[in-house]
Amino acid sequence: MNEYSETFLRELPKTDLHVHLDGSIRLSTLIELAKGQGVQLPSYSEEGLRETVFKDRYENLVEYLNGFQYTCAVLQTPEALERAAYELAHDNFAEGVRYFEVRFAPQLHVHANLDIKKVISSVARGLDRARAEINQGEGIRLGTEPRFEAGIITCAMRMFTPVFSEYYRRFMAVHAFSPPQNVYAMASLELARAVVSLRNDHGLPIVGFDLAGTEAGYPAGDHEAAYAYVHRHFVNKTVHAGEAYGPESIFQAITELHADRIGHGYHLFSPERIHSPGIRDRDEYIRRLAQYIAERRVTLEVCLTSNLQTMPELTAIREHALSKMLLARLSVTLCTDNRTVSNTSVSNEIGIALKNFNIGPHQLKNIIIYGFKRSFFPGSYNDKRNYVRQVIDYYETVAKKHGY
C-alpha cells in the first residue's frame, strides 16, 4: 500500500459530496444548544457522548441512527440551523475541503414556527457567511488557490412515522386514510415542488435532490413522481441505494429516478442480495449493471467508515466493495456521510482507503478530481470547468511540494 503523510492529505483540495448536516454537528455545539433549549442528552460532556452515543463502532444501523434523535432535536430553530451549517463549512475548509454539498431532510425541521423555506434559507445563510469569510484568504483572493464553495442537497424520506417530526405527524394525520406508500410519495412530491420553487423563484443554493431512509421494504420507485418532477426542472439527483439492499435498488435508482449519483452503492457487487426471480444469472446482471454505471459515469459516493459502522457483516475495511469498484474502473468519490456520528473527516476517509487498497498516485488524483467533476456545482458549466482546472493545477502544486 502507498504511504502518504497526513499533512499532504489535509492540504490536498478535496470534496465531500455526501455529508448530512444533522450527523455532522460539533459535539460542543450540540451540548450548548441542548442546554439552552432544554433538550435532554445522555451526557453533557464530549467524552461522555462519545462513550454513550457517538461511538467508533456500532452494533447495527439502528444504534448508529440513535444519535440523530439528539442532533435533530436541537436543530429546530433558524439560528441553530445557520450555526450548524456555518461551523460545518469551516470544519470542512480546515481540513482542505474546497467544495462540499451538505444534505438534510427539511421536513425533519419544519414545525408551526419554521417552514421549508426558512429551514433551507437558514442553512444557506450559514454557508454564505462561512464562504464569505473563507474566501477572503490571501491565496484565494490572489487566485493561486481554488475558492471555497458549497451547495445544498435536500433529502426526501423513503418512509417516515409521526415521531420523525411535527411536519410528518401532521402530514400523516391529513392523509390517514391513504396507503402508507402513497403518503410517503406525496411528501416527497411536495418537497420536490418546494425545492424547484425555492431554487428558481428565491435563488436558494439548492444543487440536488436525494432520497434517504430505510431502503429494504421501501422501494425508490414509490417516489418516481417526485423525481420525475425535479428531473423535468433540471435538478441534479442522487439516491441512497445499495446500502441496505442489493443491486436491484441501484438499478431502480438509475433507471426510474434518473439518479446522477448513488449514495453508498455498497452492495452493487452482492449477487446474494438479488431478490427478483426473473434475474436468473445474477453474476451477469451485476456485470452489466456495473458496466452501465461505468459507461455513464454515474458516481458512487463511498463512505468507508460509515459502512463499517452500520454493517455487521463488514468486519474489516479491506472487505469493502471499494476494491471491486476500483477494479471495474467506476467513478467513485470518498465521503464522510456523518462527520460527528462516524467520528471522521474526508482526510481520514482518504487515508483509510490508501492504507487498505492498492491506490497509486494517479488513481488517488482521479478519485479526488472525480469529486469535483461529478459535483452538482452551483454555477455555469464554463465556470465549473474553469474551477476544476484550477483545482487540478492546485492539486499538482501540492503534490509536487510534498514530493508525490
pLDDT computed for residue 115 by the predictor: 97
Query: Is residue 53 situated within a structural domain?
Result: yes
Q: What is the pLDDT of residues 125-145, one digit of tens each?
A: 999 999 999 999 999 999 999
Query: Is residue 349 situated within a structural domain?
Result: yes
Cα 49 from Cα 30, distance rounded (Å): 10
Cα 128 from Cα 124, distance rounded (Å): 6
Active-site position among 145, 149, 243, 349: 243
pLDDT computed for residue 61 by the predictor: 77
**For this structure, is 6 an active site residue?**
no
pLDDT band of 2, cuts 50, 70, 90: low
CB 258 within 8 A of CB 296: no
Tell me the CATH number at 56: 3.20.20.140
Cα 290 from Cα 63, distance rounded (Å): 31
pLDDT(13) > 60: yes
Q: Please provide residue 144's backbone torsions phi and psi, each rounded to the nearest 5 degrees.
A: -90, -10
Cα 135 from Cα 390, distance rounded (Å): 15
Cα 260 from Cα 238, distance rounded (Å): 6
What sign has the CA pseudo-torsion 43, 305, 97, 332? negative
Instruction: Tell me which residue of 404, 398, 403, 402 sits closest to 13, measured CA to CA.
Output: 398
Nine cell digits for residue 295: 459507461
Q: Which residues of 77-106 are buried (b: 16+ CB within 10 A; e: fewer)?
A: bbebbbbbbbbbbbbbbebbbbbbbbbbbb
Question: Exposed, middle or buried, 362 (CB in 10 Å: 0-12/13-18/19+)?
Answer: exposed
Show the 3-state SS of 34-91: HHHHCCCCCCCCHHHHHHHCCCCCCCCHHHHHCCHHHHHHHCCCHHHHHHHHHHHHHH
pLDDT(228) > 70: yes
Print the domain residue range for 301: 6-401
Q: Per this entry, what is the length of the chain?
A: 404
pLDDT computed for residue 133 by the predictor: 98
pLDDT(1) > 60: no
CA–centroid distance for 197 within its chain: 22
pLDDT computed for residue 362 by the predictor: 94
pLDDT computed for residue 340 by the predictor: 96
Instruction: Tell me which residue of 157, 159, 249, 233 sits closest to 195, measured CA to CA.
Output: 233
Query: Is residue 1 situated within a structural domain?
Result: no
Q: Which residues of 29-52 are buried (b: 16+ CB within 10 A; e: fewer)?
A: bbbebbeeeebebeeeeeeebeee
Supply the DSSP symbol for 158: S
Tally: H helices and E strands in the chain: 18, 8
pTM of the model: 0.96
Q: What is the pLDDT of residues 229-280, one digit of tens each?
A: 999 999 999 999 998 889 999 999 999 999 999 999 999 999 999 999 999 9
Cα 154 from Cα 123, distance rounded (Å): 11
Give the chain's mean pLDDT: 96
Cα 44 from Cα 32, distance rounded (Å): 9
**Overall number of domains in the chain:** 1
* pLDDT, average across residues 94-102: 98
Q: What is the pLDDT of residues 39-52, one digit of tens each?
A: 999 999 999 999 99
* pLDDT, average across residues 9-27: 98
What percent of the chain is predicted at pLDDT more than 70?
100
pLDDT computed for residue 244 by the predictor: 80
pLDDT computed for residue 312 by the predictor: 85
Query: Is residue 385 situated within a structural domain?
Result: yes
Query: Is residue 221 situated within a structural domain?
Result: yes
pLDDT(60) > 90: no
pLDDT band of 320, cuts 50, 70, 90: very high
Cα 191 from Cα 237, distance rounded (Å): 14
Cα 237 from Cα 376, distance rounded (Å): 9
pLDDT computed for residue 271 by the predictor: 95
Q: What is the pLDDT of residues 197-224, one digit of tens each?
A: 999 999 999 999 999 998 889 999 999 9
